[in-house]
Structure 1
C-alpha cells in the first residue's frame, strides 16, 4: 500500500467536463466542469464574469459563437467546492441535443470528457472527502430502499469514517508506546506493560466486532446477495423464479429446456436486496443452444453468494443431482429446494440433511416461500430488527476482519513475550488495514476499481 499515488494525481491538471444528469429528456439538465480552466470557459460560454456562488441567469454560446440555450450558470472557485478545484455548472433545458452541443463546445474550449466517478475521485485526492465517503455517494445514488439511502447519507456525512479513524488513533497510540520502548531498549527501561496493552487491545477488538456487525447489515442493505436457481429441466426453477419476483418474467412450459439463457431480476424482500438468477436446466444435451445456456449457467455460479438447487419433491435428490451438488464451487452456500409439494400434499418445512438444509415448497401455491425467504435472510446474516447506522461494502468488511486478525496476532505476541519490534509490526498492519477503508492507504488499482463503477458526471 502507498500513501499517495502520483499516476492518478497527475491527471488533476486537466479540466474535465460531463453531463451530470441522467440520459434522456427532462425539465433540466446539468453540465459540470472542474479544473483550472473553469473561469476562462465561463467567460467564453456566457460572455460575462460570473458572480461566485450565485445563480447567474444567462445565455450559453457555443465555440462558434452561436446561441445554444439560456439557463442558470453557477461558479464555485477553489478551494471551497466539491472537488477542491474551480467548479462550473450549466443548468440547461433538458434536451440531449442542447447538452451534447454544449459539452462539445466545452471540449473546444480546452476541457476533456471526465472518466466515470472522476469528480468524486478528485474530491478524494484533494482531501475534500475520504474514500468511504466517496463510495457513499455512489451508494446513495444506487440505494434500493429508504433505509439504504439513509445509511449511505450517514456514511457520506462521515459517521463510518469517524468510527474507523477513532479505532486507528487508538492503535497508533499503542504502537507509539511500543516503539518508544524500542528506543529505550539499550537502557533496560521497559515502558510496555503487557497487561495494560492487552486490555486496550481487547477493548479495540470488542469495538471492531460492534462496527463489523453494523457494517455487515449496511453492506447487505446496499449490495444485497446474488442467488441462483439451478437444477434439472422441468423441476420448476422458472416457476419458483416467477413466484419470488412476483411476476411472470420466465417462460414456463412442460417442454424440457424451455429456459436456455440466464435471467436476472433485482428485488427487495423485507429490506434485503436480492439479485435472483434463473438458469438453464443442467443435463446432457446435444442441442447447441442448450449447451451454450448450460455453459453460461456454470460460469455464472462462480459469481453468486447462494445457490438454490431445485429438485422435485416426488423424485427426491437423484443421482444426477447428487453429482451436480458435488461439482458446485467451494465456499458458496447451497440449499436444496424440493419443489411441487402440492402434488403429494407434503407440508412445507425446513429439514436438516447431510448435504445441508432442505426446504420443501410449492412454486404453484406459494407454500413454503416464506420459509425460503427467512432462510435467505438468515444465511446472509441479515437481521431486519437490527438497525444499521451507515452504508458499507464488502471490501470494508474484509478490512475489518483483517484488522481484527492482526490485533489477535498482537495479543498473541504480547502473551508469548515476543520482541517489541514484532508487536509494533503487527500493530502497523492493523493500522494500515483500517487506513484502506478511509483511503489513508490505497493503490491505483483500488481507486480504479472503486471509481469505475460511478456514473460519468459524479
Structure 2
C-alpha cells in the first residue's frame, strides 16, 4: 500500500501557486481537538464558518472558511477538516505547518496530543482512504484523476459519469450475471449424475450467450471511453516538402511549425494535441524522410522513424505536384517498404495527397487516398474524419463513460475466459470442472476493475498518479 492507512494525514489540496482560494485538508480518526486549536471553537457539522485561522500564539494567519465533516459522512469516510484561505503559497504553507504543530500539542481537556501521528499525505492518499473506506470503488477513484486531467469537454463529461458510478454499475451487472452462472455450475458439481440435465433445464448456454453479448456491448463502450482519455498518437510522415508542417498547422489552426520551400526545414519533431469530436489526437510533424549527408538532418530523420515506430496511426503525406516523377515515386515506394517493416500490422497508414489546389482534378483522381490542400484547407474535414475512423471512434453514444487501458485489457481477459467457458460447456460433463474455473477467472478479472479484488501493487500505481491533496 502507499502508506500506513491509520495515520491522520494533512495536505494542501489546491494546485501550487497563487490563487483566490487555497484549501488545506486534514483527515483522520477524530479531528475535533485540532478544530478547536485552529479555529478557537467547535464547528457545526458540514457548515462553512467564516473565522480567523490562528497560529500557536492565537494570532490570525488568515481569515477564511472552516468546515468539519464528521465520519463517515466525508470524502474519505474519516473525520475531515477543510480550511479555505486565500490562495497564496506562504499562507497555505503556514496553515499546513500550524496543523502539524497543533496535532502534537497537548489538549488541556484530555491531557493527550490533539491528533497524534499527523503527517503530510502522499499523492492520492485522500482518495485511497475513500476507496478503502468504501466511499467509492477503484474505477470511480480513477475517474477522479481523469476528471482533473481531462483535456476535452467530452472527456470531462465522461469522467463525471464514471465518477457517478455509470461504469461501475455496468461492471456490477456483468458480475451479477456471472456469479449466477457460477453458482449454477458449482451446484451441478455436487450432483454428477444429473449435471447435464440440470444445466440444460437452467438454460446455462443461454445465460452464457447473453453474458457474452452484454460483455461485448460494455467492451465497445469501454474502448470508446479509453479513446477519450488516452487519445491517439498520429505521426505525419513523408518526403521533404510534401507539406507535413503545413498540414500540422492547418489541423492545429496555428502556425506551430516553420514552413519554407527549402527541403529539410523541419529537423526535429513538432507536436500538438488537437481534438476532433472530443477525441484528443496527438499529431506529430517529423523531418522529411530521405537519404541525407547533413548530420543534423540525419538525426532528425532517425527521430522521425522512432516516432513512427511508436505511432497509433501514420498519415503518409504525398505531393501531388511531384507524384508523376519517377524519382519521387521510387522514394515513396522505399518509404512505404520501410513503413511495412517498422509498423505492427495493427497500425493503420492513411494515404494523403497534398497540394490539391495546384493540380487538375483529373491528375488528382489518378491517386487513391484522401486529397487535400493544406494551404487552402480544402479536404481538411475529410482528413479529420479519417483520423477518427483510424482511431476506432464511433459517434459518441449517450452516457459514454471514461475508461482506461487497464479496463480494456481486463475486459479482454474476461472475454477470453468466457470463450473458453463456452467450449467447456459444449464439451458437457467432461469439462465442468474447467468450466467452473474459467468462470471464476472471468469474475476475478472483472473484480480487478472496481477493486473488489486487487493487489497492493496495483493500488500503489493507481493512487501514486494523483496530486498530493487528492
Instruction: Choose from 234, 257, 262 the match for 2:264.
Output: 257
Are residues 1:452 and 2:459 paired? no
Instruction: Choose from 230, 243, 247 the match for 2:237.
Output: 230
Aligned twin of 2:46: 53
Residues 291 and 33 (structure 1 numbering): CA distance in 2 closer, same or farther, change over 3 Å?
farther
Residues 164-194 of structure 1: CA deviation (Å, up to 9, x unaligned) = 1111111111111111222233x66656424
Residues 262 and 318 (structure 1 numbering): CA distance in 2 closer, same or farther, change over 3 Å?
closer
CA shift for structure 1 position 409: 1.3
Q: Is 2:276–2:388's contact at 8 Å kept on the other side of the alignment? A: no
Instruction: Choose from 371, 376, 385 the match for 1:360.
Output: 371
Structure 2 distance, partners of 1:46, 1:375, is 59
Give runs of aligned pairs for residues 196-275 of structure 1, distance below 5 A: 196-275=203-282
CA shift for structure 1 position 345: 3.0
Q: Normalising by structure 2, what TM-score?
A: 0.86
Aligned twin of 2:112: none
Aligned twin of 2:426: 415
Structure 2 distance, partners of 1:351, 1:133, is 52
Structure 2 distance, partners of 1:441, 1:271, is 33
Residues 296 and 99 (structure 1 numbering): CA distance in 2 closer, same or farther, change over 3 Å?
farther
Structure 2 distance, partners of 1:90, 1:12, is 22
Structure 2 distance, partners of 1:181, 1:226, is 50
Are residues 1:320 and 2:342 paired? no
SS in 1 for 2:62: strand
CA shift for structure 1 position 136: 1.6
Are residues 1:136 and 2:143 paired? yes
Instruction: Choose from 86, 93, 106 the match for 1:100.
Output: 93
Aligned twin of 2:109: none
Residues 374-399 of structure 1: CA deviation (Å, up to 9, x unaligned) = 11112222222633432222222222
Residues 20 and 298 (structure 1 numbering): CA distance in 2 closer, same or farther, change over 3 Å?
farther
Q: Is 1:178–1:192's contact at 8 Å kept on the other side of the alignment? A: no
Residues 33-81 of structure 1: CA deviation (Å, up to 9, x unaligned) = 2223633433333233333222122222345765321101111122221
Residues 233 and 453 (structure 1 numbering): CA distance in 2 closer, same or farther, change over 3 Å?
farther
CA shift for structure 1 position 290: 3.8
SS in 1 for 2:4: helix
CA shift for structure 1 position 82: 0.9
Aligned twin of 1:345: 360
Instruction: Choose from 186, 193, 197 the match for 2:199.
Output: 193
| Number of residue equivalences | 446
Are residues 1:20 and 2:36 paired? no
Q: Is 2:185–2:199's contact at 8 Å kept on the other side of the alignment? A: no
Q: Normalising by structure 1, what TM-score?
A: 0.88
Residues 439 and 298 (structure 1 numbering): CA distance in 2 closer, same or farther, change over 3 Å?
farther
CA shift for structure 1 position 439: 1.2
Aligned twin of 1:82: 75
CA shift for structure 1 position 425: 0.6
Which structure 2 segments of 5+ residues have no match? 104-116, 323-327
Residues 192 and 92 (structure 1 numbering): CA distance in 2 closer, same or farther, change over 3 Å?
same
Structure 2 distance, partners of 1:306, 1:63, is 60
Give runs of aligned pairs for residues 115-126 of structure 1, distance below 5 A: 115-126=122-133
Structure 1 distance, partners of 2:435, 2:126, is 40
Are residues 1:442 and 2:454 paired? yes
Residues 212 and 43 (structure 1 numbering): CA distance in 2 closer, same or farther, change over 3 Å?
same
Q: Is 1:279–1:297's contact at 8 Å kept on the other side of the alignment? A: yes
CA shift for structure 1 position 312: 2.0
Structure 1 distance, partners of 2:36, 2:209, is 60
CA shift for structure 1 position 130: 0.6
Q: Is 1:154–1:391's contact at 8 Å kept on the other side of the alignment? A: yes
SS in 1 for 2:146: helix
394-403 or 413-422, which moves further after superposition?
394-403
Residues 349 and 32 (structure 1 numbering): CA distance in 2 closer, same or farther, change over 3 Å?
farther
Residues 124-174 of structure 1: CA deviation (Å, up to 9, x unaligned) = 122110111112212222334444333222221112111211111111111
Are residues 1:157 and 2:164 paired? yes
Q: Is 2:289–2:335's contact at 8 Å kept on the other side of the alignment? A: no
Aligned twin of 2:107: none
Structure 1 distance, partners of 2:252, 2:180, is 51
